[in-house]
Structure 1
Amino acid sequence: DYLVPNRFEHGYGLTEPVVALACEHPRLGRPDWLITVDSGIASVDGVRAARERGLRVVITDHHLPGPQLPDADAIVDPNQPGCDFGSPHLAGVGVMFYLLIALRAELRRRAPDSAAARAPLQSLLDLVALGTVADLVRLDRNNRLLVAAGLRRIRAGHACAGLRALLRVAGRDARRAGCGDMGFAVGPRINAAGRLADISVGIECLLADDDVQADELALQLDSINRERRRIESTMREEAMADLDALQAVGLGAVVFRDGWHEGVVGLVASRVKDRLHRPTIALAPSSADPSLLRGSGRSIPGVHLRDVLDLIDKREPGLLLRFGGHAMAAGLSMRAGEQARLARAFEAALAEHADPACFAPVLLTDGALEPERIGLELLEALESRVWGQGFPEPLFSDCFVVDRQTVVGSKHLRLALRCLAPAQPGMRGTTARGGLRSGGTRRLDAIMFGRTEPLPSPVMLAYRLMRDDWQGRSGVQLVIQAVAPAPIDTAASMARGPAGLTPPAFVARRL
């Protein structure tokens, strides 16, 4: 059986209350073994409590360890000292997958004819792909292999019933499933249950044996996710209003309001971080203990958030009651009323720890894309690859004329664009000496999520390509990721060549 601690009642990791809960299972009673997944590497007290109760403990985790390792019977973590496993960026699901492979190999050695020795572990690859993408770990070579294998199974119709149901409720086609579907459609619906209610709804959906049960649970998750979006939107707007009221934002941001939901603070921290390009910690009162605050932080490239929290813990003993995480994300708990102290300590630690250059927003792009290349052929080539954290999907940038723009859904900007940029000699639609490249009279459909203010014209845009299915027909639209001013004198800039169209916000193309 499994036990997922309620984050609001028991906090994170293998805590002493969680051990007590595990020993009071209504059907199984006290277990002989306690095996963690994606947690436990910092649970020194929790493991001690389990051992005192006579349990044997195996820790499987991928997070960075603290100064002391728990006294478990075994620890499987590619980031623990002395581990020479060649893939330190595995997600928790990847660590468990490799543990199962090793266990099956040992069973084959001891009992080659047993059913367990023939366990078809490849059938789990759809879940390995989902967990790897959704956990936002770095997609190094090994993780890309795992994700690619899982996506092949999903596209071939071999995904579990729950994953198929979640794709259906999100309006995604399993035959073309990609990393974006895992990270932005399936993952958030499962995670919403843990943020607002009980994550076991998501687990039971993935464990469902038939489509009827899976569909019912997927609909529940979709409803919970809609409520999560509503709460997140309100909290994000309040956080930005509070920051806008400040005279200046420093190296980092700490945001808090009494009425916030602790299950959504990580998402709010991520949104604020994206908006300000500053490491951000969002705090909310603990529902289990109003005298405590739960916090979640998100960071920017070059600022290791867990190391920053560790520095705060050393400089301000007792401020952080618990903390953990990794470079780009971390969690913490602290006493209520000490938010201002945390903000000061966070600012000081960032000043001591981080290179000032990290705080200058820089957007790397792959440069201009010929309008003639924008189509389903290129889109399908991109969709067939594995993209994600540390291995981003190509991001193009160019100068456009805005022919039309309207607000849709009260939150997003839909645009009709024409490309307007200098081109290299020999590019289709240009003269032999280069010159204006406007893509003829072809208009390009585009959307910018989360923005309602109209764009100037002309304007420099960074964008990715996305499929746009409507009434049974597939097309391509540009998804605007960033906006920068066009050169003051566009015509003069075009005459000078491509370098004249690279504003400071967009730095040379990624190679």
Structure 2
Amino acid sequence: MTAPVVLRRRPPAEAHGHWPEQVIPLLRRIYAARGAGAIELAQPRLAHLLPPEGMLGLDAASHLLADAIANDRHVVVVGDFDCDGATACAVAVRGLRMLGARKVSHAVPNRITHGYGLSPGLVAELAERDPDLLVTVDHGIACHAGISEAKARGWQVLVTDHHLPGETLPAADAIVDPNQPGDGFPSKALAGVGVVFYVLLALRRRMREAGAFAGAGPDLSRLLDLVAVGTVADLVPLDTNNRTLVAAGLRRLRAGQGCAGLNALIEVARRDPTRLSAADIGYAVAPRLNAAGRLEDMSLGIECLLTDDPAHGRELAETLDRINGERRAMQQQMMEEGEAFAARISVADAGMPLAMCLHDTDWHPGVIGLVASKMKERLHRPVVAFAPAEPGSDILRGSARSIPGLHIRDVLATVDARHPGLIDRFGGHAMAAGLTLASSALPLFEQAFRDCVQALATPDLLRVEILSDGELGVEEFCRSAAEALRDGGPWGQAFPEPQFDGVFTVQRWRVVGERHLKLELEYAGIRIPAIEFGGWDGGEPPSRVRLAYRLEPDDYRGGDAIQLVVVHREAA
């Protein structure tokens, strides 16, 4: 069950202007190939951050918040149960307190009990807190019923979100979402945590102009460690503005200036904070935060991000680490079941279908997104994984993941338009979306989903394309080049980590950890170690191979050691 792979090189591009000496020519070439041909685009600083002007709703939002602070009103920040939602909640709570709010609390829906976002059920539970103003972070643009319920209780509602809106907007007092109609903010790629950070920037400016501070006001850049983690975790495109935010947050974390909870999470993940990268956030820090929202209650993760006590932060981080271990075991089991199910579907359909719907009555709804993502990567097909909303429920929760070029939320919108009432609720992005429907509706949805993908997918979309930055010269297989590549980010969505290709001779090989392939390669007279994670297929690799790979420092061996991390291998 593998999709065809096409390996091709990026078109060459030229870097312009003055570059500092420490930016080596290899890195300049890589930046230029990603459209960053000048140093201010390749390594943007906070001075290059886009100003808040143009973001629709900021004036109304800052007015609501300034009025709430001035009149000592109770503000409840309503987060979400993923890493972006948790970090956005922590940024909002910390930021409002920095700006003088004395009555700030937070809440987060439970994935099983409440479902996604500000639901009427969650609003009913919040009534005992007697809030004056609800602030949604990383959700709200699709929460019409919950917002209407809150308004009926006499509360004000501020929506801060980044998801795509539906045909109508909710009846909130103010909405800040760069993707809402009429918004003129140049970057539409902000994560939820980035949106609320901009709201705080606008609020500080309003308060400063009103004379609320003796000077410039509190330093909101202290929140950028959280902004960086949420932005990387949510897999939004790292355009210049997002890379500005992430790079600034990484600098704080590397300097040990992160909040107590993030510092503790880095420690339990066994990452070196002085060399922390966006990949470390994506693969080590974010999963531990996300695990709380997937299996238990994201309140635990938010508490970890809000504490200023290092000992308490360490205790919470260790609990999150344990939960993440449970999540990994559950995910592995669900993946094995999903692969077996997909194999049966392929046999029944005499080939791999263009889209996959996977479902098991024993699956956990908090892990289906990971299963869908992993299966999408393995099959290079859009995948929707379903699980009961709660044990024994007739309502299914689905998590969809797509491939480049196929907008998954638009696919769901098309299915909804062709079959009104089939889907209860849906929402999301181009690459990821969520939905709910009745279990009895699953067969019809599966057929409608496949039909829609069939109409949109082209043969080119169904091939895995691996883009290479070309060959490395023999002198570039060195520690200094590997470190420059590692530290030259942040790398991520739409600004991918550098990878290269070349033909190598396999001198030695062995299997490690049952599934991984350790190689000793020869290239132009030098020996280079390499590892291909999950690369053991039961057969001996050919003596000559063409590889797509990343060049990385080998910190395990230390010194001048490097290794190649194999992304793709084929016979040469």
State the TM-score bracket (shorter-chain normalisation): 0.7 to 0.9
Count of residues paired in the alignment: 461
**Once the 2 structures are TM-superposed, how far is the Cα of residue 471 of structure 1 from its aligned partner?**
6.2
> RCO greater where, 1 or 2, for CA within 8 Å and sep 6 or more?
2
2:211 aligned with 1:111 = yes
Q: Which residue is equivalent to 2:154?
A: 54
**What is the identity, as a one-letter code, of the residue corresponding to 2:171?**
D
The equivalent position to 2:425 in structure 1, one of 322, 337, 351, is 322
Q: Which residue is equivalent to 1:465?
A: 551
The equivalent position to 2:524 in structure 1, one of 417, 432, 439, is 439
Q: Which residue is equivalent to 2:201?
A: 101
Where do 4+ consecutive residues of structure 1 move more than 6 Å? none
**1:304-319 → structure 2 map (5 Å cutoff):** 304-319=407-422
- Higher mean alpha-carbon deviation, 260-269 vs 245-254, is at 245-254
**Once the 2 structures are TM-superposed, how far is the Cα of residue 484 of structure 1 from its aligned partner?**
2.5
**Once the 2 structures are TM-superposed, how far is the Cα of residue 338 of structure 1 from its aligned partner?**
3.0
Flag the 1:439–1:329 CA change in 2: closer, same or farther, 3 A: same
SS in 2 for 1:311: helix
Contact 1:41 1:59 in 2 (8 A): yes
Q: Which residue is equivalent to 2:96?
A: none
Q: Which residue is equivalent to 1:259?
A: 362
2:258 aligned with 1:159 = yes
SS in 2 for 1:447: strand
The equivalent position to 1:250 in structure 2, one of 353, 378, 401, is 353
2:512 aligned with 1:408 = yes
Q: Which residue is equivalent to 2:477?
A: 374
Contact 1:8 1:288 in 2 (8 A): no
Cα shift readout 1:36-61 (whole Å, capped 9, x = no counterpart): 00001011111111100111000000
**What is the identity, as a one-letter code, of the residue corresponding to 2:562?**
V
The equivalent position to 1:69 in structure 2, one of 155, 169, 173, is 169
The equivalent position to 2:455 in structure 1, one of 352, 357, 361, is 352
Contact 1:16 1:45 in 2 (8 A): yes
Flag the 1:353–1:471 CA change in 2: closer, same or farther, 3 A: closer
Contact 2:207 2:213 in 1 (8 A): no
2:91 aligned with 1:6 = no
**Once the 2 structures are TM-superposed, how far is the Cα of residue 359 of structure 1 from its aligned partner?**
1.5
Structure 1: 5+ residue stretches without partners: 419-437, 487-511
**Once the 2 structures are TM-superposed, how far is the Cα of residue 9 of structure 1 from its aligned partner?**
1.0
Q: Which residue is equivalent to 1:451?
A: 535
Cα shift readout 1:283-318 (whole Å, capped 9, x = no counterpart): 111116611111101111100000000000011222
**Once the 2 structures are TM-superposed, how far is the Cα of residue 228 of structure 1 from its aligned partner?**
1.0
Contact 2:265 2:317 in 1 (8 A): yes
The equivalent position to 1:295 in structure 2, one of 398, 404, 408, is 398
Flag the 1:371–1:238 CA change in 2: closer, same or farther, 3 A: farther
**What is the identity, as a one-letter code, of the residue corresponding to 1:443?**
R
**Once the 2 structures are TM-superposed, how far is the Cα of residue 473 of structure 1 from its aligned partner?**
4.4
Q: TM-score, normalised by structure 2?
A: 0.78
2:124 aligned with 1:20 = yes
Give distance in 2, aligned partners of 1:473 and 1:230.
35
Contact 1:44 1:68 in 2 (8 A): no
Contact 2:486 2:552 in 1 (8 A): no
Contact 1:372 1:439 in 2 (8 A): no
**Once the 2 structures are TM-superposed, how far is the Cα of residue 173 of structure 1 from its aligned partner?**
0.9
2:171 aligned with 1:171 = no
**Once the 2 structures are TM-superposed, how far is the Cα of residue 154 of structure 1 from its aligned partner?**
1.3
SS in 2 for 1:338: helix
Give distance in 2, aligned partners of 1:477 and 1:71.
55
Flag the 1:183–1:120 CA change in 2: closer, same or farther, 3 A: same
Q: Which residue is equivalent to 1:497?
A: none
SS in 1 for 2:385: strand
**Once the 2 structures are TM-superposed, how far is the Cα of residue 391 of structure 1 from its aligned partner?**
0.5
Cα shift readout 1:388-423 (whole Å, capped 9, x = no counterpart): 0011011111122222222222232222222xxxxx
Give distance in 2, aligned partners of 1:51 and 1:317.
28
Give distance in 2, aligned partners of 1:471 and 1:477.
10
2:445 aligned with 1:342 = yes
Q: Which residue is equivalent to 2:297?
A: 198
**Once the 2 structures are TM-superposed, how far is the Cα of residue 353 of structure 1 from its aligned partner?**
3.2
SS in 2 for 1:270: helix
Structure 2: 5+ residue stretches without partners: 1-104
Q: Which residue is equivalent to 2:100?
A: none
Contact 2:509 2:518 in 1 (8 A): yes
Give distance in 1, aligned partners of 2:268 and 2:498.
28
Cα shift readout 1:72-130 (whole Å, capped 9, x = no counterpart): 00000000000001111000000000000000000001124369x61210100111111
Q: Percent identity?
A: 52
Q: TM-score, normalised by structure 1?
A: 0.87
Contact 1:9 1:288 in 2 (8 A): no
SS in 2 for 1:118: coil
**What is the identity, as a one-letter code, of the residue corresponding to 1:394?**
P
**Once the 2 structures are TM-superposed, how far is the Cα of residue 443 of structure 1 from its aligned partner?**
2.2
- Higher mean alpha-carbon deviation, 267-276 vs 357-366, is at 357-366
- Higher mean alpha-carbon deviation, 404-413 vs 152-161, is at 404-413
SS in 1 for 2:467: strand
**Once the 2 structures are TM-superposed, how far is the Cα of residue 474 of structure 1 from its aligned partner?**
6.2
Cα shift readout 1:416-444 (whole Å, capped 9, x = no counterpart): 222xxxxxxxxxxxxxxxxxxx331x322
The equivalent position to 2:565 in structure 1, one of 460, 479, 488, is 479
Contact 2:247 2:490 in 1 (8 A): yes
Give distance in 1, aligned partners of 2:126 and 2:158.
14
Cα shift readout 1:178-226 (whole Å, capped 9, x = no counterpart): 1111111101110011111111221111222122111111111111111
Q: Which residue is equivalent to 1:82?
A: 182
Give distance in 2, aligned partners of 1:268 and 1:251.
17
**Once the 2 structures are TM-superposed, how far is the Cα of residue 351 of structure 1 from its aligned partner?**
2.2
Give distance in 2, aligned partners of 1:332 and 1:44.
16
